[in-house]
């Protein structure tokens, strides 16, 4: 069996070999290479218009095995064209073709078993007239009646090592491709085709010949397309393409620089509509992958490309990707910008690309662990994690919608949401920001004057601004509001003002909507702080609890402007300390406005105040309302005149303690209107020591007083139920007196005398029900008290005393402590002489004879003298005059009366009563000259005169003129002596008998008497 099979197989092979050999012999005989070459050369001119040459054409079996093919060797097509670099259109070493002739003849099916072009060069040239050297085929004589439909099948179409040179002068295009290796197979069954193409080339250089030179290169291309073409229109398939070291440039703009590109795409295209649909498209540039999906359609007529593409990237390192963006596209946008992080993009390219517009690129960006820094931008950000939506609209403005962003700048944590419009231009921020911040890290964004501030803050801000405004720190141009919850805040404004608080809530608003204070309002703020301290170095410390401030500030960023502010305040308690003031305020509220450094306005209302105004001046009050303002004038002569305060004051239950005054001044109610020019006291109820008073009136020319231009003037109404003059004089002694005067040591006294204030002209109309002076009480004191520039005047002061009804005009001056001046114009009406001496002991010194009498008298007394510091008289300066009128006076000195009566021969039972007395006297130094006066005692009339020295020596003369004339001299020294003589003034009271001396004496008496009584006022109705 096996042998049979073996024999059979050997037989069959032998027959087959014989057949092949027979066919070969036939073919070599009928289609020998020479014969076949001849046939081709004979037929080619029927098809070609150009010259051609071939070395050899032969049938081949082995090269196209298992099919019979034709191998044409060294084929050259020559088509001469003017301008072409070469006449050769095509030259190939081998062109092998194998066609299934049987199917072509029988089935009208063109089946190309193989078509191979090997080792060739194709030079395509188109001249400037658009004529191409490819135009080498003679037109076919088509048989229009032949409607035979052919089908095609390409089993293998291949080029090997073919170089392509393309020059199109008309289009200005030049391309060289080396080593084109193309492999294609497929079939076409009219009108559909399908197949697979693989293309592998070496370097491509493509460039244009236009002025705007475009150059495209790659080192190698490896591409493949497998798909179908239906109806000769709809192309569908899968494209894979790899370009190594691809470059693309336009003029000097480099868009692609030796980068590897890969593309995989499932694509569909409609050739007639020029539409393209991409699916599962992966494009990568180097290692950066981009997934594409969508469609593009071209309108040739309109030169428009409509795009609708979705794309998604991998996680790109942002810095590297940005580096890949051609400068031609991104320009200098990245010049001073540092961006990094892993970015993932998904988005869409949608719109038309034509000469007028470009498609909108929308992108959802997810940035992880990013960073941002920009030259001249004050902050750098790290650890940026963000998702945001980017609308890149080349036709309009690019915008970013920040869905979420959190980042760190230094140790500060920030979050943001919002949008940035015109990202590539003005950069309009509309952001909601939160932050956990350290103030120290933002000082370079704050005004220079705040450069030494510190603290922590939790911030929530809404900001609308642009990049330029941020970069320039033009905060005033922002539209912003926000809240800062500060802790451990230390806000330093320059090196002069510090605001500190352990916890402070600040709300701010830009720009201000109202300008209530006309201070150039720049920012509106609301501040709440449980504890707040404000320190103006060297001048002011304020500590507030439960502070609520609601105010406006001027432009803090303009260092040329002084600080201006207007604040409504409401606080629990406030402690204020300045170089001249310490105050505790309870529940203060009101308004404080500082239009500039030289002006301040304060509206204040508080439930209590306790203030130390310096130099021991203390003020306490329960309820206090104050409307005050100051205007600083550096030329002012003192602090008061420099600050020019004005105030409307309403004070209840106040207490003022002045160090120079022993007792505090209690003010149950004080309503006053004060300004540098005047002080209007509407109501001033007070209590000072033992004294009470109610004061009202007006003091003017205060500024002139402090400027040394004029006197301070005033008219006051002073009423009181009780005044302790001793206490008050002690308290007010020396106010306003010059230092040199106050430095003088008082003589003979441990205590300073009362020194009258200078520079004032104040009239006080007094109504005092009861007053204590020394140990004596006075009642119903009414009259004027004038303080006239160092002179204290009691003008016609009416006083009621148990001993008398008095009227006193007095003048007191204190030019120096040891040289005081006292002048009295004193009228005692209906006085009891003994009580007069008790009331005014000095009267006994000046008029010692008065103590010899008892009874009621009228006493007029004008005297002036200088005093020592202990109020002792300086007798050398004593000047005075006195008049006394009395009736029924009792002579108390019985011994003296007895001696006088005996000497003048009075009857023994003559009563010691003087019926009437009218005497005048002058006082000069220690000399009291008693002018002659007439006394009537019983039936006797006598004229008394003499001198009484203050050392108690005296010389009196009694001239008895009725019933007899007799004189008696009484000389008192150590021992009183009596000496009878003649009557000295016998005719004095008889005008018709008066001599010249007596006339002069009487005239002087009259002048003295009238002068003394001239100032007596009639008794009031009281």
Partner 1 sequence: MKHSIRLILLIAILVPLCCGCDWSHKPKFDEALLAGYWIEGTVHEYYNANGTGYTWDTADDVTEEEAQPFTWTLDGATLTQNHKMTMGGIVPKTYTVTKLTASTLMYHDNFGTFHSFIKQ
| Contact residues: partner 1, CB under 8 A | 747, 809, 811, 815, 818-819, 821, 823, 825, 862, 864, 866, 868, 874-877, 879-881, 922-924, 927, 946-947, 955, 1004, 1008, 1011-1012
Cβ within 8 Å of residue 999, ≥6 positions away: none
The two three-digit tokens of residue 652, written as one number: 């209840």
Residue in the block written with tokens 């071209």: 298
Which residue, 403 or 947, is less far from partner 1 as judged by CB?
Answer: 947
Strands 873-891 and 856-867, sheet pairing: antiparallel
The two three-digit tokens of residue 417, written as one number: 């949401």
Which residue, 408 or 821, is less far from partner 1 as judged by CB?
Answer: 821
Which residue, 862 or 944, is less far from partner 1 as judged by CB?
Answer: 862
Which residue, 352 or 947, is less far from partner 1 as judged by CB?
Answer: 947
DSSP code of 23? H
Minimum distance from CB of 749 to partner 1 (Å)?
13
Which residue, 558 or 872, is less far from partner 1 as judged by CB?
Answer: 872
Q: How many CB atoms neighbour CB 103 within 10 A?
A: 14
Backbone angles phi, psi at 734, to 5 degrees: 90, 0
Q: Say if CB 412 and CB 443 are below 8 A apart.
A: no
Minimum distance from CB of 922 to partner 1 (Å)?
5
Minimum distance from CB of 744 to partner 1 (Å)?
11
State the Cα–Cα distance between residues 489 and 115, nearest whole angstrom: 88
Which residue, 595 or 823, is less far from partner 1 as judged by CB?
Answer: 823
Q: Say if CB 913 and CB 900 are below 8 A apart.
A: no
Backbone angles phi, psi at 1011, to 5 degrees: -65, -40
Provide Rg for the chain, Cα atoms.
Answer: 65
Which residue, 360 or 881, is less far from partner 1 as judged by CB?
Answer: 881
Residue of 85, 98, 56, 91 lying closest to 161 (CA atoms): 91
Minimum distance from CB of 931 to partner 1 (Å)?
10
Residue in the block written with tokens 């490309």: 305
Which residue, 413 or 875, is less far from partner 1 as judged by CB?
Answer: 875
Minimum distance from CB of 852 to partner 1 (Å)?
20
State the Cα–Cα distance between residues 360 and 393, nearest whole angstrom: 5
Which residue, 75 or 1012, is less far from partner 1 as judged by CB?
Answer: 1012
Tally of residues, the chain: 1022
Residue of 857, 870, 863, 799 lying closest to 1012 (CA atoms): 863
State the Cα–Cα distance between residues 49 and 762, nearest whole angstrom: 137
Minimum distance from CB of 763 to partner 1 (Å)?
18
Which residue, 286 or 747, is less far from partner 1 as judged by CB?
Answer: 747
Minimum distance from CB of 876 to partner 1 (Å)?
3
Which residue, 802 or 953, is less far from partner 1 as judged by CB?
Answer: 953
Minimum distance from CB of 1006 to partner 1 (Å)?
13
Minimum distance from CB of 626 to partner 1 (Å)?
44
Residue of 153, 72, 151 lying closest to 112 (CA atoms): 153
State the Cα–Cα distance between residues 14 and 28, nearest whole angstrom: 21
Minimum distance from CB of 762 to partner 1 (Å)?
20
Minimum distance from CB of 949 to partner 1 (Å)?
9
Which residue, 466 or 791, is less far from partner 1 as judged by CB?
Answer: 791
Residue 380, helix vs strand vs coil: coil
What is the longest distance spanned by two Cα atoms in the chain?
223
**What distances in angstroms separate CA 692 from CA 716, 730, 734, 799, one per listed residue?**
15, 16, 21, 18
Minimum distance from CB of 820 to partner 1 (Å)?
11
**What distances in angstroms separate CA 967 from CA 322, 960, 990, one per listed residue?**
141, 6, 17
Residue in the block written with tokens 């291309």: 221
Residue of 760, 974, 1008 lying closest to 884 (CA atoms): 1008
Residue of 368, 276, 361, 274 lying closest to 311 (CA atoms): 361
Minimum distance from CB of 966 to partner 1 (Å)?
20
Residue in the block written with tokens 């915008």: 399
- Half-sphere CA count of 43, side-chain side, radius 13 A: 7
The two three-digit tokens of residue 256, written as one number: 């692609």
Minimum distance from CB of 1005 to partner 1 (Å)?
11
Which residue, 55 or 747, is less far from partner 1 as judged by CB?
Answer: 747
Q: How many CB atoms neighbour CB 783 within 10 A?
A: 20
Q: Say if CB 666 and CB 694 are below 8 A apart.
A: no
Which residue, 383 or 947, is less far from partner 1 as judged by CB?
Answer: 947
């Amino acid at each position: 069996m096996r042998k049979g099979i073996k024999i059979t197989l050997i037989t069959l092979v032998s027959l087959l070999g014989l057949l092949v050999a027979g066919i070969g012999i036939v073919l070599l005989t009928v289609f020998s290479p020479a014969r076949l070459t001849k046939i081709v050369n004979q037929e080619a001119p029927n098809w070609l218009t150009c010259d051609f040459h071939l070395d050899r054409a032969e049938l081949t079996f082995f090269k196209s095995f298992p099919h019979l093919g034709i191998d044409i060797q060294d084929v050259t097509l020559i088509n001469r064209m003017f301008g072409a670099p070469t006449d050769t259109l095509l030259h190939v070493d081998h062109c092998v073709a194998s066609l299934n002739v049987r199917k072509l003849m029988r089935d009208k099916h063109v089946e190309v078993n193989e078509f191979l072009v090997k080792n060739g060069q194709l030079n395509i040239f188109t001249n400037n007239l658009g004529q191409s050297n490819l135009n080498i085929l003679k037109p076919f004589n088509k048989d229009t009646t032949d409607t035979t439909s052919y089908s095609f099948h390409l089993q293998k179409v291949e080029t090997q090592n073919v170089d392509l040179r393309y020059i199109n002068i008309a289009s200005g295009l030049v391309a060289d491709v080396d080593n084109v290796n193309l492999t294609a197979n497929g079939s076409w069954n009219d009108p559909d085709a399908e197949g697979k193409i693989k293309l592998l080339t070496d370097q491509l250089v493509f460039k244009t010949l236009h002025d705007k030179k475009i150059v495209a290169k790659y080192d190698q291309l490896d591409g493949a397309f497998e798909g179908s073409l239906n109806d000769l229109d709809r192309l569908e398939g899968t494209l894979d393409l790899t370009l190594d070291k691809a470059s693309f440039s336009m003029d000097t703009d480099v868009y692609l620089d030796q980068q590897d590109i890969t593309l995989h795409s499932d694509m569909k295209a409609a050739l007639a509509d020029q539409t393209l649909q991409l699916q599962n498209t992966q494009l990568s540039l180097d290692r950066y992958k981009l997934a594409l999906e969508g469609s593009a359609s071209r309108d040739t007529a309109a030169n428009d490309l409509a795009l609708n593409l979705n794309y998604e990237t991998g996680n790109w390192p942002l810095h590297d990707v940005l580096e890949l963006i051609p400068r031609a596209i991104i320009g200098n946008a990245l010049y001073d910008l540092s961006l990094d992080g892993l970015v993932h993009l998904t988005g869409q390219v949608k719109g038309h690309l034509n000469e007028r517009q470009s498609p909108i690129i929308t992108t959802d960006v997810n940035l992880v662990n990013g960073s941002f820094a920009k030259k001249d931008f004050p902050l750098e950000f790290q650890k940026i994690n963000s998702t945001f939506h980017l609308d890149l609209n080349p036709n309009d403005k690019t915008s970013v919608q920040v869905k979420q962003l959190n980042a760190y700048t230094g140790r500060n944590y920030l979050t943001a949401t919002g949008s940035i419009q015109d990202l590539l231009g003005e950069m309009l921020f509309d952001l909601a920001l939160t932050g956990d911040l350290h103030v120290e890290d933002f000082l370079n964004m704050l005004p220079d004057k705040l450069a030494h501030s510190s603290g922590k803050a939790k911030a929530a801000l809404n900001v609308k601004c642009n990049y330029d405004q941020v970069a320039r720190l033009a905060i005033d141009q922002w539209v912003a509001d926000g809240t800062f919850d500060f802790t451990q805040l230390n806000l330093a404004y320059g090196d002069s003002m510090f605001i500190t608080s352990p916890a402070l809530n600040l709300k701010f608003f830009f720009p201000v909507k109202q300008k209530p204070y006309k201070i150039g309002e720049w920012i509106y703020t609301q501040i709440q702080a449980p504890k707040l301290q404000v320190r103006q170095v060297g001048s002011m410390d304020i500590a507030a609890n439960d502070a609520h401030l609601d105010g406006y500030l001027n432009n803090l960023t303009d260092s040329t402007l002084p600080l201006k502010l207007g604040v409504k305040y409401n606080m629990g308690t406030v402690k204020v300390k300045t170089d001249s003031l310490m105050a505790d305020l309870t529940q203060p509220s009101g308004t404080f406005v500082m239009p500039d450094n030289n002006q301040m306005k304060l509206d204040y209302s508080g439930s209590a105040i306790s203030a130390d105004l310096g130099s021991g001046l203390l003020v306490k009050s329960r309820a206090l309302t104050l409307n005050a303002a100051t205007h600083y004038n550096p030329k002012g002569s003192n602090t008061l005149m420099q600050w020019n305060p004005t105030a409307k004051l309403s004070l209840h239950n106040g207490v003022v303690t002045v160090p120079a005054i022993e007792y505090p001044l209690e003010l149950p109610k004080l309503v006053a209107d004060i300004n540098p020019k005047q002080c209007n006291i509407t109501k001033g109820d007070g209590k000072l020591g033992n004294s009470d008073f109610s004061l009202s009136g007006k003091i003017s020319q205060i500024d002139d007083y402090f400027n040394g231009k004029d006197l301070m003037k005033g008219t006051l109404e002073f009423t009181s139920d009780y005044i302790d003059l001793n206490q008050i004089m002690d308290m007010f002694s020396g106010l306003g007196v010059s230092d040199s005067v106050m430095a003088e040591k008082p003589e003979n006294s441990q205590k300073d005398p009362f020194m009258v204030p200078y520079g004032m002209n104040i009239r006080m109309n007094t109504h005092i029900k009861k007053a204590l002076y020394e140990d004596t009480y006075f009642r119903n004191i009414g009259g004027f008290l004038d303080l006239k520039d160092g002179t204290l005047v009691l003008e016609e002061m009416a006083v009621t005393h148990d001993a008398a009804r008095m009227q006193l005009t007095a003048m007191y001056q204190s030019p120096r402590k040891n040289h005081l001046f006292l002048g009295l114009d004193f009228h005692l009406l209906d006085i009891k002489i003994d009580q007069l001496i008790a009331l005014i002991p000095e009267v006994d010194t000046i008029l010692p004879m008065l103590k010899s009498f008892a009874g009621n008298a009228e006493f007029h007394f004008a005297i002036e003298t200088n005093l020592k510091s202990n109020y002792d008289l300086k007798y050398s300066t004593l000047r005075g005059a006195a008049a006394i009128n009395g009736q029924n006076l009792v002579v108390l000195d019985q011994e003296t009366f007895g001696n006088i009566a005996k000497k003048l021969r009075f009857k023994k039972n003559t009563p010691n009563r003087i019926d009437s007395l009218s005497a005048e006297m002058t006082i000069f130094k220690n000399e009291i000259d008693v002018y002659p006066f007439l006394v009537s005692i019983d039936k006797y009339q006598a004229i008394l005169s003499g001198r009484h020295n203050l050392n108690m020596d005296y010389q009196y003369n009694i001239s008895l003129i009725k019933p007899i004339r007799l004189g008696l001299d009484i000389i008192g020294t150590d021992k009183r002596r009596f000496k009878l003589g003649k009557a000295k003034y016998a005719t004095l009271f008889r005008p018709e008998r008066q001599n010249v001396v007596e006339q002069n004496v009487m005239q002087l008496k009259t002048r003295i008497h009238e002068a003394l009584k001239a100032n007596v006022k009639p008794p009031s109705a009281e």
